A and B are shown apart, each in its own frame.
Chain A
Amino acid sequence: QKEVEQNSGPLSVPEGAIASLNCTYSDRGSQSFFWYRQYSGKSPELIMFIYSNGDKEDGRFTAQLNKASQYVSLLIRDSQPSDSATYLCAVNQGNKLVFGAGTILRVKS
């Protein structure tokens, strides 16, 4: 069983819609959760982090964490074509940061 699981997609949404990206993890001791965005041919860039149960909002992005269900999600409101990218979920395991394989998001105009 993979330690951090994401649906590979592609997830296609129309411009202006809400994109919902999901991630599950296996280590109950994990405390830190991150979302990175990676455009094709580029390096990953951090867009959100969350440490506590509940929601955390930053502009059009909302990260949601449920430690009991070992589930973290990213919502992108008012999706734009420029949001089309691969979204990587990352979870700490002790000193290590473990990444999921990523979900491809396509926003169609």
Chain B
Amino acid sequence: EAQVTQNPRYLITVTGKKLTVTCSQNMNHEYMSWYRQDPGLGLRQIYYSMNVEVTDKGDVPEGYKVSRKEKRNFPLILESPSPNQTSLYFCASSLERVGGYTFGSGTRLTVV
């Protein structure tokens, strides 16, 4: 089944404790992206990647890191999480540079 897989689905952590949210797609898509979704603000792009080793900042990159060492994987790293990073996170991939995304199931992160 063609899909984008995120893990974990739910995560509660403490301020300052480094964490990684994994994302993997099995559709051989070149384009991958991370979004966060907050009430009233909608989906905001954190980072995107157009191919292996090619990443760029979205609209809200502060406090986040990404890497794209393999085509299928695009992990999101929070080096020192803070409470304002409490949010619902989505990974997405598409075949075209800016095309129709397939979204993962989401990761609900709470930072206390």
B43 contacts which chain A residues (CB < 8 A)?
Answer: 44, 88, 90, 99
Chain A interface helix/strand/loop/mixed? strand
- Chain B residue nearest to A4 (CB atoms) is B42
- Partner-contacting stretch, out of B16-24, B74-82, B96-104: B96-104
Size of interface on A: residues with Cβ below 8 Å to B: 20
Q: From residue A87, how far is it (CB to closest CB) to chain B in Å?
A: 12
A binding-site residues for B, Cβ under 8 Å: 32, 34, 36, 42-46, 49, 88, 90, 92, 95-102
Contact string, B50-66, partner A, CB cutoff 8 A, digits 1/0? 10000010110000000
Residue of A nearest to B4 (CB): A43
Please report the number of residue pairs spanning A and B whose Cβ atoms sit closer than 8 angstroms.
50
A44 and B42 contact, Cβ closer than 8 Å, known pairs A32-B98, A95-B56: no
Give the 8 A-B residue pairs with the shortest CB-CB distance, closest first: A101-B42, A43-B103, A99-B43, A92-B98, A46-B100, A99-B42, A44-B103, A43-B106
Please judge, given known A-B contacts A95-B97, A96-B98, whether A101 and B41 are in contact too, CB under 8 Å.
Answer: yes
- In the complex the two chains form, what is the Cα distance from A101 to B45 in whole Å? 13
Known: A32-B99, A95-B50. A43 touches B104 (CB 8 A): yes
Q: Which residues of A contact B102 (CB under 8 A)?
A: 46
